[in-house]
Amino acid sequence: MNIKIGILTLSSPEWGGVYQYTLTLLEALKNLHNKRYEFIQLRNKSFPKILERDIAIEVENVLSDIDFIICPFPSLFPFLMGKPYIVTIHDLQHEYYPEFFTPEQRIMRKMIYKTTAQKANLVVCESNYVKQDIAKFLSIPGKKIKVLASPPPNYIMKARIDEIRLIEIKEKYKLPDNFLFYPANFWYHKNHINLLRAIRLIKDKYGQEISLILVGAKENNFENVNEEIRNLDLSQRVKYLGYIPDEDMPYLYKLATALVIPTLFESISIPIWEAFYLGCPVVASNVCALPEQLGNAGLIFDPHNVKDMAEKIYDIWVNENLRRELIRKGYERIKNLTIENYAKEWGKILEEAINIGHVVYKIDFFEEFSAGAFVSFDPMRASRLYNRLAWTAYKYGNKSLAASLLFKSSFETRSLKDFLKGIFVVLGLYGKYMTKKYGEKNLEDFSLI
């Protein structure tokens, strides 16, 4: 009998690397020809349908015939559903830069990451650096953590650059002849501001005007970046393109003089792999797993040191021989990172994870919530669960949410999506409550288990 494996695909392009990672995972599983497995995409309606069989998670009993789940990001979903699973943890940024998160977000991340990792059959990550973090911060034994780097998505690897289209893309976005390219959402840790300061320093020190092309979602640091562009008088040199269709992205890499990654924190940078595939030289931060990823195929700098960043950017900007050498080394670095090899490695991981078996755990926080109640999702149980959520919301200070949940409990509620949303809102309230009552320092080891 086939083992039915669901792949949770709930991300969106605004999620950045997680979205790209999920796309590549699905493409790899399409290439994993194992008659024992039937892969089923569990998706939001907005997520592209990639696998032959898919299920929209909004409908009831979506997991009744799913045997195993692959979760491409930390989520309580498979745990709450009472299913064995593999989870991918991309990084533990909140442990290094807690100031980038609210107290509630920090507590939420601690709860979700630790619970998800400890109850998973196996944990996957993309670098040895992150493997060490998972072992350190989440108390996961090394033998349970599998390191597997993900290649870029298909629209990068299968790109065939057309010279006429190259000219059209340059005209479409009004690109300069030479530019640095930085594709990243505007989060604080992406370090756009130090990059702008480095570009200004290059102009002041060497008289070299450098153009910068930015793409990515307008996250919480977007306005600060715009203000810094004005303050540094770089408005004529920095251009934000907004959302770029997948089919256009390979051309931006090909047209760029270099890819720059000034991030303060990054487990693995998918744009670095993309640049290697498309022959774009790379200059990047020396943080986390990026030196491990780059090897000798890129220049590195200290992202906190504007002078160091400026010098390395200037080197790659003016030295054509250096750029050619880095492009050659990039191709060498990426040549074995293929969808086919990635699929084979996932096959080995699945075999090991499925053979571990599964124990259904109870959630201590919601003492009366068994995993079976989530799976069966009959109206009576749903009503009782909503009542419990309403009581918890009231206890932790949100009377309007409590009233809303009580209202829902009065009807035959069959929306799994709404129910899960209610759980996570309550968990957020719980984070606020615990932070206020005990303080963050006393919650370092807190989880749901």
pLDDT at residue 152, rounded to an integer: 86
pTM for the predicted model, two decimal places: 0.73
Compare 375 and 93 and report the one with higher pLDDT. 93
What's the CA gap between 183 and 251, in Å, rounded? 13
Say if residue 64's pLDDT is above 90.
Answer: no
| Residue 106 phi, psi (nearest 5) | -65, -45
Ramachandran region, residue 288 (left: φ > 0; alpha: ψ -120 to 50; beta: rest): left
Closest to 27 measured CA to CA, from 157, 161, 114: 157
The model's confidence at residue 432, banded by pLDDT at 50, 70 and 90, is low
CATH of span 3-152+340-356: 3.40.50.2000
| Residue 5 phi, psi (nearest 5) | -110, 120
Unique residue bearing structure tokens 């640095």: 180
Closest to 229 measured CA to CA, from 200, 251, 203, 201: 200
Compare 355 and 385 and report the one with higher pLDDT. 355
Q: Where are the domains of the chain?
A: 3-152+340-356, 155-337, 371-443
Lowest-pLDDT choice from 13-17, 289-293, 394-398: 394-398
What's the CA gap between 88 and 11, in Å, rounded? 13
Lowest-pLDDT choice from 120-134, 137-151, 199-213, 371-385: 371-385
pLDDT at residue 55, rounded to an integer: 81
Across 65-79, 311-325, 345-359, which has the greatest mean pLDDT? 311-325
Which superfamily does 155-337 belong to? Glycogen Phosphorylase B; (3.40.50.2000)
pLDDT at residue 362, rounded to an integer: 38
Asked whether this chain's domains 3-152+340-356 and 155-337 adopt the same fold, the reply is: yes
- 206-263 pLDDT, tens digit per residue, is 999 999 999 998 988 999 999 999 999 999 999 999 889 989 999 999 999 999 999 9
Say if residue 400's pLDDT is above 70.
Answer: no
- 97-113 pLDDT, tens digit per residue, is 888 888 767 877 887 88
| Residue 240 phi, psi (nearest 5) | -105, 125
Contact 303, 324 (CB under 8 A): no
Contact 203, 278 (CB under 8 A): no
| Residue 97 phi, psi (nearest 5) | -130, 65
Q: Mean pLDDT over residues 327-334, rounded?
A: 95
Q: Mean pLDDT over residues 435-439, rounded?
A: 55
Closest to 367 measured CA to CA, from 397, 382, 393, 388: 388
What's the CA gap between 377 and 416, in Å, rounded? 8
